[in-house]
Amino acid sequence: MKKRTPNSGKSNLSPFKKFIKEKPKRETFSEKPAPRRKPNKRLEEKLKAKKDQKIKETIYGSSDKQVKKPVYDVKKVISVAKKVKEENEEETSTKKTNEVRLNKYISNAGVCSRREADKLIAEGLVKINGEVVTEMGYKVQPNDRVEYDGKLLKKEQYVYVLLNKPRGFITTTKDPLERKTVMQLVQNACEERIYPVGRLDRNTTGLLLFTNDGEFATKVAHPSSNTQKIYRVELDQPLKEEDEMTLRDRKFELEDGSPYIDGLSVNEDDRREIGIELHSGKNRIVRRIFEHFGYTVEVLDRTVLAGLTKKDLPRGKWRYLSEQEMISLKYLSGLDKKKKKPARDKKDRKRR
């Protein structure tokens, strides 16, 4: 056998060292570019959608809070802005010169409504300082003499009347079917043109206010004034205890929302007789509440209205409100409340 020498035959390197020796050098980045990845279509679509969204959206505001600009109906905004501008201009002009539009002046004099006054003006039945005026937007000056049908018109005084309405009368100023209206009951109360505040159904009895004070009527009738109304109700059958609990907990809704019931009392001797207090002025609200539970209201009588009662006021009769009643009513409706200045103004004054 031949002796093996280190330099003869195959190399005596171990397999690991041989692998290191024979392994080619790694190519640098500059020599060979990195392989391209396959395009991700979903990712590209998302990125494109984000870019389009950024282009469409207009962002404004401070650097701390950024708010997306809402999309407006331009035509509607312009029309509303014009109306607001005209109303503001009219208010400022009337405040400066104490001018009043002619149709409003006629309405305030108790002749008719503003729409009917426009017809009288168009027909040439109104004279100002002896001359016929047919201009709709004419503004009456403080020293002008306005005449209609040969009579000098003056601003009427405010009148407040309380009626105990009987059954069978409709709460409206005019009825085309010539049915009985509440205006027939108060026709001799005053010369001024008064009208009902709110309404009562034909078969509903109780207290109903009349006035020619438009601002007062709007405030009292509006739900925000929380005008107290208490009704005495008689049902066709006794009220069930489970229905009473549902009414007290207000866990029910009508087709136009859930009515807020302020109070409920049930006559335990005869559970058909119920007292209910609320401030909602929705149409047929009391009847609809009990009809929701399967009851029929046979008698409905409004016994209290904004603190006013039927004391010494028989059915079908009316009376004028006293001065004390008017003070409390105007306070409750918010007409006598002064607007409070914001707290910031007070702080600024203190700093100054």
- Bridge partners of 326? none
Radius of gyration of the chain (CA): 40
- Chain centroid to Cα 283, Å, comes to 16
What's the Cα-to-Cα distance from 43 to each of 35, 50, 56, 94, rounded to whole Å? 19, 11, 20, 64
Please say whether the beta carbons of 277 and 293 come within 8 A.
no
Hunting for tokens 């009895």 — which residue is that? 205
**Which residue has tokens 């500059």?**
30
In DSSP terms, 265 is beta-bridged to 275
- Per the residue annotation, which of 201, 262, 270, 301 is the catalytic one? 201
Helix, strand or coil for residue 348? helix
Is 201 in the active site?
A: yes
The neighbour count for residue 109, using CB atoms within 10 Å, is 19
Degrees to nearest 5, angle at CA 317 with 313 and 322: 60
**Angle between the N-to-C axes of helices 323-333 and 214-221, in degrees from 0 to 180, rounded to the nearest 10:** 60
Task: Report, as residue numbers or ranges, the catalytic residues.
Answer: 201
